[in-house]
A and B are shown apart, each in its own frame.
Chain A
Amino acid sequence: MKIKKAAALSVAAALLFSSCQTESIITTNNEQIEISFSWWGNDARNEYTIKAIQEFERLNPDIKVHCIYSEWSGFQIRNNVQMASHTEADVMQINYAWIEQYSPDGMGYYDINELSSFVDLTNFSENEINFGMKNGRLNALPIALNTQTVYVNKTLYDEYGLSVPKSWDDIFKAAEAMNGEHYPLTMNNKATLFSLVAYAEQQSGHEFIKSDGTLGFTSEDFKTMLEFYSELINKKVMPQTEYFERIRLDNGEYAGTVAWLSDASSYMGGAVKAGNEVVIADYLKNDSAVELGWYTKPATMYAISANTDYPAESARLLDFLLNSEEMADFQGVEKGIPLSKSARAYLEQTGKLTGLQYDAFLKMNEFSDKMTIISPYMENTDILEHVQQSCNSVYYGKTTSDEEAKILMENISDVLKNAQS
Chain B
Amino acid sequence: MAKTGFGNHSDKIKKTKITMIIGYALIIVVSTILISVLSLGKTSDIMEEKVKDMTSALNVQLKLNIDNYLSKLETTGTLIFATPEVYKYDAVNPTVDEYEALNTESLISDKLMELCVMENYVDFAIVYSNNHSVGKLSNGTASLFGNELYSSLEKIITRRRTSDGWATGCYDDYKRIYYVKRVNDNTVFVASFYTTELKNVFELPETMNDMAVRLVNKENNIIYSSVQDETGSLLPSDISDTILDHTSATVIDDNHLITVDRCADDWRVISSIPRAIILEEMNDIKSSTVAIAFAAAIIGILLGVFLSIKVTNPMDSLVSDLDSKARIDTLTGVNNKRYFEESVEKSLSEQNRNNIGILFILDIDDFKGVNDTLGHGYGDKVLSGIGDILKTTFRSSDLLGRIGGDEFAVFMTISEHEKENCLSIVKMRCEALCKAFRKNYTGKDNSYKISSSIGVAVAYKEQKDFSELYRCADEALYASKHKGKDTYTIYGGDLQEAGDKYEN
Distance of A73 Cα from B118 Cα, bound (Å): 12
Distance of A30 Cα from B206 Cα, bound (Å): 8
B113 near A74: Cβ-Cβ < 8 Å:
yes
User: What 0/1 pattern do residues 205 to 248 of A give for CB contact below 8 A with B?
Assistant: 00000000000000000000000000000000000101101110
A245 near B99: Cβ-Cβ < 8 Å:
no
B352 to A: closest C-beta gap in Å? 48
B206 near A242: Cβ-Cβ < 8 Å:
no
Interface residue? B363 (CB, 8 A): no
Q: Would you list which residues of chain B between 132 and 172 have a CB under 8 Å from chain A?
A: 132, 136, 138-140, 142-143, 146
Instruction: Specify which chain A residues have a CB less than 8 angstroms from the CB of B175 in the assembled complex.
Output: 43, 47
Interface residue? A155 (CB, 8 A): no
A250 near B143: Cβ-Cβ < 8 Å:
yes
Q: Tally B residues with Cβ within 8 Å of A.
A: 29
Distance of A78 Cα from B114 Cα, bound (Å): 9
Interface residue? B117 (CB, 8 A): yes
Distance of A388 Cα from B228 Cα, bound (Å): 46
B363 to A: closest C-beta gap in Å? 53
B99 near A46: Cβ-Cβ < 8 Å:
no
Given contacts A74-B113, A77-B113, contact A43 B120 (CB under 8 A): no
B194 near A392: Cβ-Cβ < 8 Å:
no
Q: How large is the interface on A (under 10, 10 to 19, 20 to 34, 35 or more residues)?
A: 20 to 34
Per DSSP, are chain B's interface residues mostly helix, strand or loop, or mixed?
A: helix
A392 near B120: Cβ-Cβ < 8 Å:
no
A270 near B99: Cβ-Cβ < 8 Å:
no
Name which residue of chain B comes closest to A30, CB basis.
Answer: B206
Instruction: Specify which chain A residues have a CB less than 8 angstroms from the CB of B119 in the assembled complex.
Output: 70
Interface residue? A105 (CB, 8 A): no
Instruction: Specify which chain B residues have a CB less than 8 angstroms from the CB of A392 in the assembled complex.
Output: 99, 102
Distance of A245 Cα from B142 Cα, bound (Å): 9
B142 near A247: Cβ-Cβ < 8 Å:
yes
> Of B98, B113, B117, B143, which one neighbours A247 at CB under 8 angstroms?
B143
Given contacts A73-B113, A247-B146, A396-B99, contact A43 B139 (CB under 8 A): yes
Interface residue? B365 (CB, 8 A): no
A313 to B: closest C-beta gap in Å? 19
A242 to B: closest C-beta gap in Å? 6
> Of B105, B117, B142, which one neighbours A78 at CB under 8 angstroms?
B117
Instruction: Specify which chain A residues have a CB less than 8 angstroms from the CB of B194 in the assembled complex.
Output: 46-47, 50
Instruction: Specify which chain A residues have a CB less than 8 angstroms from the CB of B105 in the assembled complex.
Output: 242
Interface residue? B116 (CB, 8 A): yes
Distance of A242 Cα from B116 Cα, bound (Å): 20
Instruction: Specify which chain A residues have a CB less than 8 angstroms from the CB of B433 in the assembled complex.
Output: none
User: What 0/1 pattern do residues 341 to 384 of B give for CB contact below 8 A with A?
Assistant: 00000000000000000000000000000000000000000000
Name which residue of chain B comes closest to A266, CB basis.
Answer: B139
Instruction: Specify which chain B residues have a CB less than 8 angstroms from the CB of A63 in the assembled complex.
Output: none
Instruction: Specify which chain A residues have a CB less than 8 angstroms from the CB of B4 in the assembled complex.
Output: none
User: What 0/1 pattern do residues 1 to 12 of A give for CB contact below 8 A with B?
Assistant: 011000000000
Q: Would you list which residues of chain B between 97 and 118 have a CB under 8 Å from chain A?
A: 98-99, 102, 105-106, 113-114, 116-118
Q: Would you list which residues of chain A between 147 and 194 have a CB under 8 Å from chain B?
A: none
Distance of A70 Cα from B113 Cα, bound (Å): 11
A50 to B: closest C-beta gap in Å? 5
B137 to A: closest C-beta gap in Å? 9
B298 to A: closest C-beta gap in Å? 15
Instruction: Specify which chain B residues have a CB less than 8 angstroms from the CB of A266 in the assembled complex.
Output: 139
A73 near B140: Cβ-Cβ < 8 Å:
no
Given contacts A29-B206, A43-B122, A47-B175, contact A74 B116 (CB under 8 A): yes
Interface residue? A69 (CB, 8 A): yes
Name which residue of chain A comes closest to B97, CB basis.
Answer: A396
Interface residue? A345 (CB, 8 A): no
User: Which of B117, B119, B132, B143 has the most A CB atoms < 10 Å from its CB?
Assistant: B117
Interface residue? A384 (CB, 8 A): no
Instruction: Specify which chain B residues have a CB less than 8 angstroms from the CB of A250 in the assembled complex.
Output: 143
User: What 0/1 pattern do residues 70 to 114 of A give for CB contact below 8 A with B?
Assistant: 110110011001000000000000000000000000000000000
Interface residue? B121 (CB, 8 A): yes
Instruction: Specify which chain A residues have a CB less than 8 angstroms from the CB of B114 in the assembled complex.
Output: 77
Instruction: Specify which chain B residues have a CB less than 8 angstroms from the CB of A42 in the assembled complex.
Output: 138-140
Distance of A398 Cα from B175 Cα, bound (Å): 44
Given contacts A46-B122, A392-B102, A396-B99, contact A73 B143 (CB under 8 A): no
Name which residue of chain A comes closest to B303, CB basis.
Answer: A6
Distance of A148 Cα from B98 Cα, bound (Å): 29
Interface residue? B288 (CB, 8 A): no
Interface residue? B196 (CB, 8 A): yes
Distance of A77 Cα from B111 Cα, bound (Å): 12
Name which residue of chain B comes closest to A67, CB basis.
Answer: B120
A246 near B121: Cβ-Cβ < 8 Å:
no
A50 near B196: Cβ-Cβ < 8 Å:
yes
Instruction: Specify which chain B residues have a CB less than 8 angstroms from the CB of A3 in the assembled complex.
Output: 310
Distance of A81 Cα from B117 Cα, bound (Å): 9
Name which residue of chain B comes closest to A250, CB basis.
Answer: B143
B118 near A78: Cβ-Cβ < 8 Å:
yes
Name which residue of chain B comes closest to A270, CB basis.
Answer: B143
Distance of A392 Cα from B103 Cα, bound (Å): 9
A74 near B117: Cβ-Cβ < 8 Å:
yes
A22 to B: closest C-beta gap in Å? 18
B120 near A74: Cβ-Cβ < 8 Å:
no
B196 near A246: Cβ-Cβ < 8 Å:
no
Interface residue? A279 (CB, 8 A): no
Distance of A270 Cα from B194 Cα, bound (Å): 21
B120 near A69: Cβ-Cβ < 8 Å:
yes
B240 to A: closest C-beta gap in Å? 28
Instruction: Specify which chain B residues have a CB less than 8 angstroms from the CB of A247 in the assembled complex.
Output: 139, 142-143, 146
A398 near B142: Cβ-Cβ < 8 Å:
no
Instruction: Specify which chain A residues have a CB less than 8 angstroms from the CB of B113 in the assembled complex.
Output: 73-74, 77
Interface residue? A415 (CB, 8 A): no
A73 near B136: Cβ-Cβ < 8 Å:
yes
Distance of A247 Cα from B139 Cα, bound (Å): 7
B281 to A: closest C-beta gap in Å? 15
A354 to B: closest C-beta gap in Å? 23
Interface residue? A272 (CB, 8 A): no
Instruction: Specify which chain B residues have a CB less than 8 angstroms from the CB of A242 in the assembled complex.
Output: 102, 105-106
B99 near A398: Cβ-Cβ < 8 Å:
yes
> Of B99, B136, B143, which one neighbours A74 at CB under 8 angstroms?
B136
B136 near A70: Cβ-Cβ < 8 Å:
yes
Name which residue of chain B comes closest to A73, CB basis.
Answer: B136
Distance of A240 Cα from B113 Cα, bound (Å): 21
A246 near B117: Cβ-Cβ < 8 Å:
no
A78 to B: closest C-beta gap in Å? 5
Distance of A242 Cα from B175 Cα, bound (Å): 27
Instruction: Specify which chain B residues have a CB less than 8 angstroms from the CB of A289 in the assembled complex.
Output: none
Instruction: Specify which chain B residues have a CB less than 8 angstroms from the CB of A81 in the assembled complex.
Output: 117-118
User: What 0/1 pattern do residues 22 to 60 of A give for CB contact below 8 A with B?
Assistant: 000000011000000000001100110010000000000
Interface residue? A68 (CB, 8 A): yes
Given contacts A77-B117, A78-B117, contact A71 B138 (CB under 8 A): yes
A252 to B: closest C-beta gap in Å? 13
Distance of A270 Cα from B196 Cα, bound (Å): 24
A43 near B138: Cβ-Cβ < 8 Å:
yes
Distance of A3 Cα from B303 Cα, bound (Å): 11
Instruction: Specify which chain A residues have a CB less than 8 angstroms from the CB of B106 in the assembled complex.
Output: 242
User: What 0/1 pattern do residues 240 to 277 of B give for CB contact below 8 A with A?
Assistant: 00000000000000000000000000000000000000
Contacts A42-B140, A242-B102, A396-B98 known; 6 new A-B pairs at CB < 8 A: A42-B138, A73-B136, A247-B143, A270-B143, A392-B102, A398-B99
13 A-B pairs, CB-CB below 8 angstroms? Answer: A42-B138, A43-B138, A43-B139, A50-B194, A50-B196, A66-B200, A68-B120, A73-B136, A74-B117, A81-B118, A247-B142, A247-B146, A392-B99
What are the 7 closest A-B residue pairs judged by CB atoms, nearest first? A43-B140, A396-B99, A74-B113, A247-B142, A78-B117, A77-B117, A246-B139
Where the two chains meet, the residues of B that have a C-beta atom closer than 8 Å to any C-beta of A are: 98-99, 102, 105-106, 113-114, 116-122, 132, 136, 138-140, 142-143, 146, 175, 194, 196, 200, 206-207, 310
Where the two chains meet, the residues of A that have a C-beta atom closer than 8 Å to any C-beta of B are: 2-3, 29-30, 42-43, 46-47, 50, 66-71, 73-74, 77-78, 81, 240, 242-243, 245-247, 250, 266, 270, 392, 396, 398
